[in-house]
Chains A and B, each alone.
Chain A
Amino acid sequence: MSEKVKVTIDGITVEVDNGTTILNAARQIGGDIVPPAMCYYSKLQGSGGKCRTCIVKVTKGSEKDPRPMPKLVASCRTTVMDGMEVLNITSPEVLEARAGVVEILLINHPLDCPVCDQAGECDLQNLGYEHGLQKTRYEFERRTFERIDIGDKIQLHMNRCILCYRCVFTADQITNKRVHGILNRGDHSEISTYIQQAVDNDFSGNVIDVCPVGALTDRTFRFKNRVWFTKPVDAHRDCDHEKCNGKVTLWYKGADVLRVTARKDQFGEVEEFICNTCRFDKKATADWVIEHPTHIDDTSVIASNHYETLKPLHVIQPNEALQAANEIELHKTVKY
């Protein structure tokens, strides 16, 4: 299965391994054509397909069977076929449907960004900004849950949850025992432990990093600061936990480390999961070997305090077709 297949997304053709999903093919191209993903997480098996924000239109199934797919498909769970043609941001139908999904995701969301620790690095906030309406058409009472502390390190704000299931997959696949899960059904579904229990084991803190919204937040960082006032710095330490390599991002305010997170790649996914000791217990600069300032994408509000030289995404540097398709990105590079 090592053969390559060709797929064309928004007019850009790329060769990818057989079995790659449309979303991952788009990520290989990079730039604006990458569909947003709220529930898919490449490091978690079985994730994806649920939030429907990554839907795209397949206008040609494959070279062999050129029929278009009848419905929009979730790009994170649809594998590419040789000769497949996909439309993402060039299809008004996709953009309209995606705006619809965003509106629907927001109807029961409390929109409490001003008091939410996730604000500034929240996927839903970004999505709402890009696709959302100026005002809501939902006029009913929003669904509410009690805020609960699952253990002394993690707080669960179920009101903000979009039920992406990432934290459940994380608990299943990264930690050794799952004590939380999805309870109830339909729009009453909630993340919970059912009987009040602490989510507590060596890797439990990773649920904070995988959460795309502010549903699971770090209690040790609660209300300490807005993320865009903090300065992220890559650092590492010799972690003696066998599964943790100790590579993290430290978030500084002045000389204080306010929080520690795993390092995230350009798609917002953690590069490697870290243990709770690194995350919660090592909050002195002396615990760490500092590497360099963390690269923050210039589209993020966090980048407002940074002085890095901007570079276009590495994949679009040598390729003129891609440069043309990603003009905005390139333009920014030249301008600043």
Chain B
Amino acid sequence: MLKVEEQTPVVFSSELLAKFDDIKSRYPADKSKSALLPLLHLVQAEYLWVSTPAMDKVAEYLNIQPIEVYEVATFYTMYFLKPQGKYALEVCRTGPCCLVGAEKILSHLENKLGVKEGEVTADGLFSFRGVECLAACGYGPVLQISPEYTFYENLTTESVDKLIEDLKNKI
């Protein structure tokens, strides 16, 4: 339960709203609630997380009650309800990946980044978490980086080190 707190009001850009309209047009006119999941993805791609004011705006856009948006956003695991690192690393931690060393990758990330699962590094660049099966079991261990959801397979501790350096140098 969130306390009512000061959260920056959100104004969606006209580009974003144009994307909203495009998605809404895919469903029958009275079923625009169907657009909710894709819309939340768009919001997250734009702001890197989904804030309460943003959810309220989405509810307003789709003409539904805010609680209907909260219900959905908290049900699905992909929506970040608090700010994450610029690169949110998600490592698969389910059976087949663990057979080939996913747990090692997770503890390596924790050491390398110096933060615990779910926390953001001081520079705001990285956060990581273990997620359940990413459907790439044959190429494990795997991780993906939101918001683009680029995918990295057959990880080793060395390849993870390199990946993090590359991301750091990207800015």
Contact = CB atoms under 8 A, between A and B. Distances in A.
Direct contact of A and B (CB under 8 A): yes
Nearest to B71: A181
Contacts of B74: 183-185, 194
A178 B67 contact: yes
Interface in B62-100: 65-68, 70-71, 74-77
B67 A196 contact: no
B68 A193 contact: no
Contacts of B4: 195-197
Q: Is the interface of A mostly helix, strand, loop or mixed?
A: loop
A148 interface: yes
Contacts of A197: 4
A194 B121 CA distance: 27
B29 interface: no
Interface string B26-42: 00000000000000000
Interface in A185-243: 185, 192-197
Contact of A192 (B1, B3, B77): B1
Interface string B99-120: 0000000000000000000000
A192 B74 CA distance: 11
A177 B2 contact: no
A196 B70 contact: no
A148 B67 CA distance: 17
B68 A181 contact: yes
B144 interface: no
Interface residues of B, number: 15
A289 interface: no
A180 B1 CA distance: 11
Contacts of B71: 181-183
Contacts of A177: 65
A180 B3 CA distance: 14
B92 to A, nearest CB: 19
Contacts of B66: 179, 194
Interface residues of A, number: 17
A146 interface: yes
Contacts of A183: 70-71, 74-75
Given A185-B74, A195-B52, A179 B1 contact: no
Contacts of B3: 195-196
Contacts, number: 46
B70 A181 contact: yes
B53 to A, nearest CB: 10
B67 A180 contact: yes
A148 B1 contact: yes
A196 B1 contact: yes
B2 A184 contact: no
Nearest to B68: A181
A146 B1 contact: yes
B52 to A, nearest CB: 6
A193 B75 contact: no
Interface in A142-167: 146, 148
A178 B52 contact: no
Contact of A178 (B65, B76, B77): B65
A148 B4 CA distance: 14
Nearest to B5: A195
B70 to A, nearest CB: 4
Interface string B43-73: 0000000001000000000000111101100
Contacts of A178: 65, 67-68
Interface in A72-119: none
B51 to A, nearest CB: 11
25 contacts: A148-B1, A177-B65, A178-B65, A178-B68, A179-B67, A181-B71, A183-B70, A183-B71, A185-B74, A185-B75, A185-B76, A185-B77, A192-B1, A193-B1, A194-B1, A194-B66, A194-B67, A194-B70, A194-B74, A195-B1, A195-B2, A195-B3, A195-B52, A195-B70, A197-B4
Given A178-B65, A194-B2, A196-B3, 19 more contacts: A146-B1, A178-B67, A179-B65, A181-B67, A181-B70, A182-B71, A183-B70, A183-B71, A183-B74, A185-B74, A185-B75, A185-B77, A194-B1, A194-B74, A195-B3, A195-B4, A195-B52, A196-B1, A197-B4
